[in-house]
Chains A and B, each alone.
Chain A
Amino acid sequence: MTIRDEALERAKELDIRLEAHRAQVRVEPPKRLFSLLRAYLHRYTEESGIQTNVYDLIKIHGPDSGGLAVIELGPQIDKGPTPEHFSPPPERALASGSQYETEESILSSLLTAFNSTGMRALHASSCDGTGTMTH
Chain B
Amino acid sequence: MNRFAQGPAFEIARRIELRGSATWVAVIGSHSTPEPSELERLCAELESLTNRQTRVLSVAGREPLEIREVLESPPDDIVVVYGFESFSQEDWQALDIHRDVLQREGPVVFWLSKKDANTLCRYAPNLRSLIGRSFFELGPEGGLMTEQERTKRLQVLAEHYGLTDQEVIRRAQAGELPRDPEFAEWLVLLGRGDLV
Q: Is A24 positioned at the interface, with any CB of B under 8 Å from its CB?
A: no
- In chain A, positions 72-101 with a C-beta closer than 8 Å to chain B are 72, 75-77, 97-99, 101
A128 vs chain B, min Cβ distance (A): 12
B169 vs chain A, min Cβ distance (A): 14
Q: Is B49 positioned at the interface, with any CB of A under 8 Å from its CB?
A: yes
Given the contacts A61-B189, A66-B193, A131 and B182 also touching, CB distance less than 8 Å: no
Q: With the chains together, A32 CA to B10 CA distance in Å?
A: 12
Q: Are A61 and B150 in contact (CB under 8 A)?
A: yes
Contact partners of A66 in chain B: CB under 8 A:
193-194
Contact partners of B174 in chain A: CB under 8 A:
none
Q: Which B residues are closer than 8 A to A by beta carbons?
A: 10, 13-14, 41, 44-45, 47-49, 51, 142-145, 149-150, 153, 156-157, 160, 181-182, 184-185, 188-189, 191, 193-194, 196
Interface residues on A, range: 20 to 34
Mostly, the B contact residues are helix
Contact partners of A35 in chain B: CB under 8 A:
10, 44-45, 47-48
Q: Are B188 and A61 in contact (CB under 8 A)?
A: yes
Given the contacts A38-B10, A76-B153, A99-B185, A130 and B143 also touching, CB distance less than 8 Å: no
Q: Are A60 and B145 in contact (CB under 8 A)?
A: yes
Residue from A31, A36, A70 in contact with B185 in the complex, judged by beta carbons closer than 8 Å: A70
Q: With the chains together, A67 CA to B188 CA distance in Å?
A: 10
Residue of A nearest to B182 (CB): A76
Q: Is A58 positioned at the interface, with any CB of B under 8 Å from its CB?
A: yes
Q: Are B142 and A31 in contact (CB under 8 A)?
A: no
Q: Are A68 and B188 in contact (CB under 8 A)?
A: yes
Residue from A31, A72, A99, A131 in contact with B41 in the complex, judged by beta carbons closer than 8 Å: A31
Q: With the chains together, A61 CA to B143 CA distance in Å?
A: 9
Given the contacts A60-B143, A75-B156, A97 and B181 also touching, CB distance less than 8 Å: yes
Q: Is A42 positioned at the interface, with any CB of B under 8 Å from its CB?
A: yes
Contact partners of B142 in chain A: CB under 8 A:
55
